[in-house]
Amino acid sequence: MKKILILLVLVLLPFILNSQTLEEIEREANPEYTYVQDNSEFAQLLRNMTAARKSGNTELFNSFLNELNTKYSNHPNVKITPPMPENRDVFIPVQVSEKLKEINSLPDWANGENRIFGRTVGTSSVGNPNSYNRMIRLETDTIGNLFAGFLNGNKDTLFFYKSTNRGVSWTLINALYSGSAYYYYSFDFALTDTTGGFKIGMVVSIAPSATPYAGTIYYADMLPDGTGFAPSTVDVPVSGRGHIGPVICTDGYSWSPGSTYWYIAYSNCDASTGATSFVPVAYTPNWGSTWVRDTARSSYNDYELDIDYNFDADTLYVLLTNNLTTTNENLRIRRIALGDWGTNVAWSQFNPASTSVPEFNGSMAVNRKTNAMVVTYTATESSNNNILYSYTPAGIMNQWVVGNTLSNQANSETRSHIQSNPQQSGSFRVAYVSTGTSFDTVIYMNTFDVASGFSARTVVSRVNQSTGVLAPAVTGYMFNGTSAGAGVIYAGNGPTNIWYNGSDITTETKNITTTVPDKFELSQNYPNPFNPSTKISFAIPQNNRVVIKIYNTLGKEVSEIVNDNFNAGTYEVTFDASNLTSGVYFYKITSGNFTDTKKMLFIK
């Protein structure tokens, strides 16, 4: 009889559990939201400070900020953070040997990718349920300087490199030691893009090596050459808890340096298991000295965070993944207007995927010129991982178009990263990996109109294999404020080495006529000779795939500038040869049975 009862319980257990969790699953996915304005003095002060900043009244803004620092310094949602002492034992700038610097300057463009770093790279960190894989970052400023951040193999040193020539060469600008018996769980950084200059802001989680989830959150900023490093402690966990997976963004492109805010989010987790209980968020209105805190969401295991800001709506967005249903991870966006910050109750939710299959590894970007917003993510469909994306063309939450396919090849694709250059209206660039047995391949795609989809699929890791555990990072840039480009960095197989490729992904294809041509044609490039860029036109009389490749005089392929499906029409592609040597090159078009080759001359 006892065996029969046990068997009955085992048979009924799935139904019992499902009936217990259906209500909770619905509440997580579609929480009730009723906006109630907080009219406390504290909330009114935050609204006044936000309005003063929006109006450009610096004197009034500083007055409200001073009141916040003096009157509410002990408020639970305000933290005053003095600079860390010089004799601290964590988060320390260190000198790096000349040998390491020498390795980083090795040119490798002849092989297709340029090596930034020639040592073992920090791998993913433990996570619940997924390992944290966003351990390398790439950013740019408005004049096209590139900045790369990543960890060494021991994950005790955070490196920052800078390139002023589109990734051809890289200079180490800072190396930050976690401290003895500590390691970096993860980090993120961003650049202010202000009219008064640039600054790098970063957020890190540093944990004891013996308790990898017990991270403390630190913020720091520094100048673009690595000097002026100024760290502060944001959040120390209580016993048994930890802070992990921090992300950061800035609204600096839209504000003057004095009014720039930095925003961060991170997961508050169990220090033993890594399971999250809530997602703290905070912003600093004065470069890390004061933090105004809030909670994006509580009660769920939320992880794989991302964060971005919308200027027109003056709204912050936090993207997260949760696994309330362990077999069906889901993406959520939490959002709040800055005028409602600090009250813990004004956050609303949108589900950017809403599929019946697992969604994870989300990445989010907002275009500052159009307010268009895109989320890319991995979806497991029929046991195969594909890259999907959802978007809203003007940042309006009830105009989302969800579940669009970015790539669904036969092999699994995952670990996407999307970015939008604030100087280019409507532009979005994405990098992701196509998985293999022993290594992965990094892929790049872009769009200048998200409603029309992504194109220009390009293999980034052509020679140097990619790791199978870390996500690549992508950025778009405007070199000297005029020449558009893009770059991707990724960790090599191992993970060992950090590779950059930007030489053959800086193209943009435009339809230049409204009439349908009557034949295939490849036109002579113009100008010719050229330095550093030239335009190549081609015509196709029917819908077809077009591939255009660049070859040197030895017949070696040096770039693939077009590889995509096009409707019948005449198109123009801009080719930038900045990273090639002077000389004669040939460009070849293939479309169906049509091929043609022409010669061009590049003179630096």
End-to-end CA distance of the chain: 89
Backbone φ/ψ region at 447: left (φ over 0), alpha (ψ -120 to 50), beta:
beta
Would the pTM count as exceeding 0.85? no
Q: To the nearest whole percent, how much of the chain has pLDDT over 70? A: 91
230-235 and 216-222 as β-strands: parallel, antiparallel, unpaired?
A: antiparallel
Contact 218, 243 (CB under 8 A): no
- Per-residue confidence (pLDDT) for residue 97, from 0 to 100: 60
Contact 478, 105 (CB under 8 A): no
Lowest mean pLDDT among 132-146, 285-299, 325-339, 478-492: 478-492
- Per-residue confidence (pLDDT) for residue 512, from 0 to 100: 84
CA distance 486 to 507: 9
Sheet strands side by side (includes 496-501): 114-120, 496-501, 483-491, 473-479
CA distance 570 to 568: 7
- Per-residue confidence (pLDDT) for residue 604, from 0 to 100: 84
Position 14 pLDDT exceeds 70: no
Q: Where does the pLDDT of residue 158 fall: very low under 50, low under 70, confident under 90, or very high at 90 and above?
A: very high
Q: To the nearest whole percent, how much of the chain has pLDDT over 90? A: 61
Give 91-106 pLDDT, tens digit per residue.
999 976 644 544 444 3
In this prediction, residues 37-59 reach a mean pLDDT of: 90
CA distance 215 to 184: 8
Pick from 134, 92, 50, 332: nearest CA to 218:
92
Give 542-591 pLDDT, tens digit per residue.
998 888 988 999 988 777 778 777 889 999 988 877 667 899 999 999 99
In this prediction, residues 416-442 reach a mean pLDDT of: 88
All domains of the chain in start order, with CATH:
92-501 (2.120.10.10), 509-602 (2.60.40.1930)
- Per-residue confidence (pLDDT) for residue 600, from 0 to 100: 97
Residue with tokens 């003895």: 180
DSSP assignment of 402-422 equals: EEEEEE--SS-EEEEEEE--T
Dihedrals phi, psi of 226, to nearest 5 degrees: 90, -5
- Per-residue confidence (pLDDT) for residue 462, from 0 to 100: 78
- Per-residue confidence (pLDDT) for residue 354, from 0 to 100: 74
- Per-residue confidence (pLDDT) for residue 505, from 0 to 100: 43
Determine the 3-state secondary structure of 180 from DSSP: coil
CB count within 10 Å of CB 228 equals: 12
Lowest mean pLDDT among 327-336, 455-464, 519-528: 455-464
DSSP assignment of 518-555 equals: SS-EEPPPBSSSBSSEEEEEEEESSSEEEEEEEE-TTS
Dihedrals phi, psi of 29, to nearest 5 degrees: -75, -35
Contact 320, 296 (CB under 8 A): yes
